[in-house]
Structure formats: structure tokens, C-alpha cells
Amino acid sequence: MRARYPDEEGYVERGGVRTFYEVYGSGDPTVLFLPAWAILHSRMWKSQIPYFARYQRIVTFDPRGNGKSDRPPDPAAYADTEYVEDALAVMDVTGTERAILVGLSFGGWLAARLAVDHPNRILAVALIGPAIPVGQSLPGRKRYSFDDVLETEEGWAKYNRHYWRKDYRGFVEFFIGEMFPEPHSTKQIEDGVTWGLETTADVLTATRDAPSLQRSLMDRPDEAAEFCRRIRCPVMVIHGDQDRQVSYTRGVETARLTGGEVVIIHGAGHHPPSREPVKTNLLLRAFIDRLYGPWSNLGRNIGIAGM
Amino acid sequence: MRARYPDHEGYVERDGVRTFYEVFGSGKPTIVLLPSSPIIHSQQWKAQVPYLARHFRVVIFDGRGNGRSDRPEISEAYADQAIIGDTLQVMDATGTERAVFVILCHAWWVLDLAATYPERVLGLVAIAPGTPLAPIHSNRAQYVARFDEPRGDYEGWAKTNRHYWLQDWRGFVSFFFDRMLPEPHSTKQLEDIVGWCMETTPETMLLNRAAAHFPKTKEEAEELCRKVRCPVLVIHGDLDECQQPAKGEAFAKLTGGKLVMLEGAGHMTPGRDPVKVNLLTKEFVDTLTALQPREVRWTRAMGRRKRALFVSSSIGLGHIQRDLAIARELRALIPDLEIDWWAQHPVTEVLNAAGERIHPQNHLQALESAHWEEEASQHELHAFYAFRRMDEIFVANFMLFHDITRETPYDIWIGDESWEVDYFLHENPELKTAPYVWLTDVIGFLPVDPDGDPREVTLCADYNAEMIEQRARYPRLRDLSLYIGEYDELPDAAFGPGLPNIREWARTWYKPVGYVLPFDPLQYRDQKGLRQRLGYGNGYPLLFAAVGGTGVGRNLLQRVIDGFGQLRETMPDARMVMVTGPRIEPDELPDVQGLEKLSYVHNLFEHLACADAAIVQSGLSTTMELVATRRPFADVPLRKHWEQQHHVGFRLRHYGATNRLEYAELSPGRVAETLQQLVGSRVNYREVPRDSARRAAQQIARLLSR
């Protein structure tokens, strides 16, 4: 059973694709927990939601491609702009004019896009291991072609469309395993693999083939930096220095470019919300309290009642 | 001495009235700690300034009518608008565009300031805010109404009267602030405040009383509160007899602020609950200044090294030798333990010489040894009063301890007579976040002049009673209390009138580990061989004189030199080695034939073990080292030093060392005569245990591993 069940749930439909959302608790400001890559879904926030829902309203949703959301076959349906529009649609349907965003990995990228493109609706963003293409890529990680047939299936060679089709579970187990370099992470890995197997190789392949500003900025660091500088709302970054999927230098650089604060967790991997849930919760709590707590200037200015 | 001195000070002048201000630190934003004047002055914030100035910039000033500011003789000069004008002018003079204001009690004019000048106010901390939002306290409403009428008697709150003020100002403020401090054991706070009140006059207070103050009515106050736009924090004691808690509640509600009610607290919370008030203020200011770019690192619990913080008292140099001995044994038991030291000069010199790691923020501590030297004169140090006057330094250093232990999650805190840590942890037990060990060689303050100084008797008993109550209420706060000695080395005396016997009480509350020596005494029994090895040679009387690590011993050394000069007349081949300690320059003392003066000697005990006789101050370490190496010696306690007078004397008698001299009777002739008798005399001391450091370490290690 879950620690906390939603007070409200439903679907929002865009272009024939249905996105499943949940709402918990009450009280301003609303916190929207964004999806990451569609290999995971909204249960990845299970260690956060019961805690934050005691203080304020929480909204979360499953990404198209996993969970209770639809899995359209067309790669174009998985463009990052589609996820941005889904987030706005969920905010609309739940009556959420403005929200604080929490995003992990690809979700960190989505949070940044929302903050840049829709500043009037975003109060602040908390980015965890954000896949924002500033800073460095991981040193020592061997690059393999995604599209070519490879001679090896070792390590990151599994990140390959042919391997996915051949042994999808093998890829999910590898990928989720990489997410948790911390010892004794069996339960977190088991959860992640379960969620990963709720979608398919075809869906993940479609997400990989979708158009994405994020990927196109990978080779254009100046434009990526300029993009970050356009974030005007408060920013906090949490990043594990053992992250094997997104170098923590990306998080540090994002914080620097946005004038935000960064917490580096020694020994943590790519998913602190699951593996370091208490620390993550308290860091997010402190960030939100500094901005919208009972003593905050901002809270008073936007007319948010005492929390 | 103060825990922190201003970086900048000056005066502003308005309409011929000069106001004195001080500026501390350079952080952002600026906090202006406003005066509750003219009854008290800016020293009211002494427990806040050192802490807040480490994080922010702090401005304080004496309100007109007290402190170093002028005392104008017309009542208009004390109107609200005058002090508001002074505040703005101090801000201008110090380049303070906007600030967080903190006020105790006198919140009415600060309300006006915040409502009228919103562009200059970032936030407001109103402690026990006084406004007409609720009626005046019933304890004195009737007397305030007839303030100007003479009365037949002035018992109790009837002292709230113009005629009584003029007749006995001290009587009024003593009564009033005693009621403002309902918390037990508030003697030091009361004494401070009465002192500040005596720096102004009832005439000044009457001028202030007659001046224009606003708001007068509840409605005016409510309207003013609603105009305040800045974030507000209200702190109020629920036992406040000056401003009823209902005033604080209404203030918070109408300004949209947050209320923190301190239960069991009175009116003077900045002085009486300084740690809580400091942390609340810091937390409040932090929320106003979020979003400063910064980088924080946190290490997962299982990835952390095993680390201890060892707090070694800096009062005297003896503690550090035994602390190092305990640390050596602890490392033998737990090889992967890292130790950070928290200590002060001159202890840090010993630690540096030993290659130990000193905490990088160590140097930010307010200096205890400077305080002790300021307190001492003529071989006299009233240790208890000096200790008591360290209140400001203690709270400043505890706040620093609190900050550094939040930054680094230590596995254990070990405090050797870490008085400030122990006291304020008991006052704020929720701040304990690690296993905590307390070590001491002294239990209980005992008066040094019970017949001549009844105040000292009362105060010592009060301090002991507070400690006994703290222990009883929070027994698990210390995971371990170790007594450096055995129970029968403790005075067989009561903590004070009506209080338990020290030795009996200790049996319940302490584990004894034996006296801790920093060396094995058996290796220092061959005096001849040792003298050869250390280059002294044999065949003449070798004498030693030593006074420990502070500068207090200068007068004793002077007298010993005179006495040694006389001794040479009858014992011409005698030589004396005098160790002045790091804080007395050998050159400041005269030269005599046969005398060698050294400021510091590494492993002094080896040298003492060579002595045919020694004369030393009654510091515990030096005297016990002489006992352990079985050398004849005489000790001279500092006058009025409770520990040397009582605890050390008691322990030395227990060990059979009974040549004690009083400084008053220490003529040069007496020094010469004593040394003459000691040379060649036999000692019959009890053996000092050799395994005490290991016993202590074994107890501590149990808190770190199974």
C-alpha cells in the first residue's frame, strides 16, 4: 500500500494523448513534481509526496510513455515541447495558476524550459541531477553509437536501439543499476526496474527519436549557457557527485549561471529522492520555506497565506 | 572584557545631542539592535552581537539618556520622533540603507519607524513588544494611574512612583528587573541590568516619561500595525510581567508576523535565553535574504570518516596534556578516529607542536585567557567572579560551537571542562546532535571568603544549584560524565547551604577514572640519570619554580627570585630553573646569580622530576606531576582562586603533599627557609595511578564502537 493516496486524480488529453495526474493535500504554493525520462513514472516521487502533502498542495503526473499515461507510437509525440505542454495542461486542469517545480534528470530540463518559456507560471525550480547541457559530460564514460549495430553489449553499449529491441530488460537493469552507485540500493533498483518494465523498447526508442532542444544544445555550450541565464526565478540544484548519468558539474554550472544555490551530495548517484530521501526532503523543504515560508517577503508579495 | 569589540564606532549629533554607535562585522544584511533607552543601554545586546556579527553586519547605539550618549535635560528630547531621528541618522552615518530592526520592549516607536519608513526596513524582530494593543499589566495598573501621588509606603509594585524613583532609584530598578527575570538563577543578568540602569538617573527617566509617545490607544496601535509591510517575528516570554503575552500575540496577528512564545521565560529573553533568541533571529534574517548563490556539500552518512571534536578548556595549560594522553589511548582503541581540536591560545601552541589538527574556525573564538589576565592582579584571581563575568564570552563561543557542529556532523563531542558547551546544551537540550562526553577535575564552586563575602556564598550555591538541577532534569544530555580522580579526592563539603555533599553527589553523577598523568611516572624515578640525560648534571641543589600558562604568576615569580637570592647566601651552589610560561617574558624579571629563566619548556614534568625542591603555583597539573615524580615541593595558591584554594589543596592533602604556603606570608626569607628545608627532605606521597588515561579512553570508546 501507499503511504498516502491522492485526494484527486484524473486525465488531461492533448492531441489524443491522455496524461494521468494526481493531486494531494492543500495549501499554497503548489509544488509540481515533474516526470523524468519515460523509463520512470510518477511513483519515483513516493518518498517526497507524503511529506510535502502535509504542508501544501502537490501535483504530479505520469509522462506520456509510462505509468497510467498513454503511449503514442509517433516519436514526434515525445518532443520536450509536448511534455512542457502536458505540464501546463495539468496545471490548468487542476486550477494551478503558479507552482514551484521539482524536476530530476530530464525533468530538470523540463523545469528549466518551463521557467524560461512560461515565467509567469513558475515560482521557483528545484533541479535534481538536472540534464541541462552546461558543465561537462561525464569523463571516462565511453561513447557508443545509438543507431549502429555494435560489436559489444558491455556497459553503455547497451544504450543502443538494437540492444533495446533484443534485450529490453537487460538495458533497464543496467540503466537503473547505474542510477544507484550507493551500496545497498536493492529496493531502489528493484522499484526502478519495475517502473522501467511498465513501458517498452519501442516507446523509449520513440522518445529517443523525438525532436529535442536539449539534445541540440549538447554541442552548443554558449547557447546552453544563454538558455540558463534566461531563468529568472529562484533556483536550487541538488546533485550527487557519484552521478553516473549526468555529471554533477552540470548541476554546479546550472546553479552558477542562474544565480541559484547548489547542494552537492558526496557519495550519491543520480536519484537522491529515492536513495537519500530524508536529506532531499529537508533540502527542498528549506528551499521552499526560504522563499514562501511564514517570514518570506515573496510569500507576502504574492498573497500566499501563512503555511 | 567583551567577547567582541566594534570594528568602527562614532557619534552622530542631532539638535546638539550626541548619540554613540558601534558597528561590528561586514556581512549582509545589516541588523540594527535598537536601544530600550533610556533605562538601559546598548550592552543589553552583549549576548547577541558576537554571534550575529559573524553572519551579518550589526549596528548598535546607546539611546539618548544612557550609555555613552548625551543626557539632554528637556523632555521633548526624549520623544519618539527624536529617537526615530537618531536611528535614521545612525543608519546614514554607517552607510546603512536598509536594515533588520530588533527591539526589546520599546516597540511602539519602532512600529512608527517601520510604518513611516518602509524603504529602510527589511524586517522587524519585536521581542516582548510594548504597545497599547492590550491593557497594562494588572500588577501595576493602579500604581501607574497614580504615578505622581506620594504614598505612605512603597512596597512591591507601589515602587512604580515618581517619588520613590527620586528617593531610591536603585531600589526601584532592583525590584522591577527582579520581576522581569522570573527564571531561577538569573543573578548575573539582574546584576548587569541594574548596573546599566544606574548609568542613568530617575530625572532622565521622568523626562522620558513626560515626552510625546505614540500610539496612545489600542485603535491607534492597531492602525499602525496594519501599516507595517515588512516581515515580522515576535518573541515573547509567557511569564513576562512588563508586557503581557497578549500584546505580543496581537502584534504578530496584526502585522502578519510569526509569534514564538517562549514558555517559562520572562521579559529579558535576549539576556536570559540568548541562544534561543540568537538562533530565532538568525533564522528569521536568513529567510529575508534567501537566494544568495552558494554551494553546500553534504556527505552520505556511510561515507563519513569517524570524527571526534575535542574541546579542551583553555584556562591553564594542564588540561591539554591529559587530553592528549586520553586522545592517544582513544586512537589506540579506535585507530580510524580523526580528532579535531577546539581550543584557544596558548593550548593551540601545544597542539601545533604535537602535530594535531585544530579546527579551522578555532581562531574565531572570543579569547578566554585574555579575560583571565585582565581579571588577575598581584597573585590574586577571584576565579569564581572571573568565571561569572565570562558570561558574554561563553555565549559567544557556544554560538560558534553550535555553528561548527552544524557544519560538520561529528561522531562525538568530548569536552574537558568545556563550560560554555555544557551549560548552554543544558539550557537548549534540543541542540545536542552527537554523543557528548564531559570531563572535569573540579566539581562545585566553593566560596573562598565565606566569612567576609556573603554574596559569594550565595552566588556559588546558586551556580551549583543550577548545575544540579540541570543534571537532574536532563540526565542523558551527557552520555558520559568522567571525573579526573577518585571520589575521595573530592572535597568532603556541601555544594552550599541546603545542597548535597559534593563527594556523595558525584557518586551518582560521575564515573571516576583516576587522576590522568600525561606520562608514566615509573620512567622518571631515576633522578640522577635523568639529570644527566637532560644536561643538568649532579652534585648541586637544583631548584625549580613554575606558575603555569597564564600571566597571573608574575608576582609569585618575583618573590621567589628575591627568596632565591637570599638562599644563595647559605646555599651558594644552588641553581634555580624558572619557567615563566608563554605569557610572561623572562626578560621582564630580574637576573640573579644561579638563576636560569625560560618561557616554555617542552614536557616540563621531565624537568620537574630532576628537582631537589620546587616552589610552584597551586595549579593542579604541575603539583600532581611533582607528586607523581615524588619531588619535594611547596605550592602557593592564587588568592581567591576557588579551585586552587579548595579542590587542589584537598587533593594534594589526599596524596600526602602538605607544604602549602599563602602568598601573603611569602617573604623572601620564607621562600629561602622553605627551599632550604625541602632540599634533601623525604616525601611520603600516595602513588598516582598510571592507567587513568586508558580508563577514560575505554569509557569514551564505548560510545563510538561495540
| pLDDT score of B315 | 66
**pLDDT interval class at B314 (50, 70, 90):** low
Q: What b/e sequence results for B21-55 when a residue is b if at least 16 CB atoms lie within 10 Å of its CB, and e otherwise?
A: bbbbbebebbbbbbbbbbbbbbbbbbbbbbbbbbb
Nearest to A76 by CA among A141, A14, A6, A10: A14
**pLDDT interval class at B674 (50, 70, 90):** very high
Residues of A in contact with B296 (CB under 8 A): 261-264
| pLDDT score of B548 | 75
Cβ-based contacts under 8 A for chains A and B: 74
Q: Averaged over B205-210, what is the pLDDT? A: 96
Nearest to B411 by CA among B300, B296, B301: B301
| pLDDT score of B1 | 84
Q: Which residue has the cell 509536448?
A: A82
The 3-class secondary structure across B312-329, one letter per residue, is ECCCCCHHHHHHHHHHHH
In whole angstroms, what is the distance from residue A174 CA to residue B636 CA? 76
Q: Which of B123, B258, B291 sits opposite A294 (nearest CB)?
A: B258
A206 Cβ contact partners less than 8 Å away, ≥ 6 residues apart: A65, A72, A73, A74, A75, A77, A78
**pLDDT interval class at B370 (50, 70, 90):** confident
| pLDDT score of B200 | 97
B231 touches chain A (CB under 8 A): yes
| pLDDT score of A296 | 55
| pLDDT score of A9 | 98
Size of chain B in residues: 706
Q: Say whether pLDDT at B17 is over 50.
A: yes
Q: Which of A261, A279, A293 sits opposite B287 (nearest CB)?
A: A293
| pLDDT score of B110 | 97
Determine the residue type at B654.
H
| pLDDT score of B290 | 61
Average pLDDT of chain B to the nearest whole number = 94
Q: Say whether pLDDT at B318 is over 80.
A: no
Highest mean pLDDT among A174-188, B290-304, B383-397: A174-188
DSSP state of B501: B
| pLDDT score of A2 | 87
Q: Say whether pLDDT at B668 is over 70.
A: yes
Residues of B in contact with A266 (CB under 8 A): 297-300, 303
The pTM (predicted TM-score) of the whole model is 0.85
**pLDDT interval class at B229 (50, 70, 90):** confident
| pLDDT score of B316 | 63
Residue of A nearest to B298 (CA): A265
B286 touches chain A (CB under 8 A): yes
Residue of B nearest to A235 (CA): B291
Strands B480-483 and B511-512, sheet pairing: parallel
| pLDDT score of A294 | 61
| d(CA A2, nearest CA chain B) in Å | 26
Strands B542-546 and A58-61, sheet pairing: unpaired
Superfamily of domain A8-141+212-302: Alpha/Beta hydrolase fold, catalytic domain (3.40.50.1820)
Inter-CA distances, A95 with A22, A25, A271, Å: 13, 14, 30
Per-residue pLDDT tens over the stretch B590-606: 999 999 999 888 888 99
| d(CA A256, nearest CA chain B) in Å | 7
A279 touches chain B (CB under 8 A): yes
Q: Where are the domains of chain A?
A: 8-141+212-302
Average pLDDT for runs of 10 along chain A of length 307? 93 98 95 98 95 94 98 97 98 97 98 97 97 93 92 96 98 98 94 98 98 93 96 95 97 95 96 94 90 58 34
In whole angstroms, what is the distance from residue B235 CA to residue B298 CA? 32
A137-143 long-range Cβ contacts below 8 angstroms, 24+ apart:
A137/A247, A138/A244, A138/A245, A138/A246, A138/A247, A139/A247, A141/A244
Residue of A nearest to B284 (CA): A295
A260 touches chain B (CB under 8 A): yes
| pLDDT score of A90 | 98
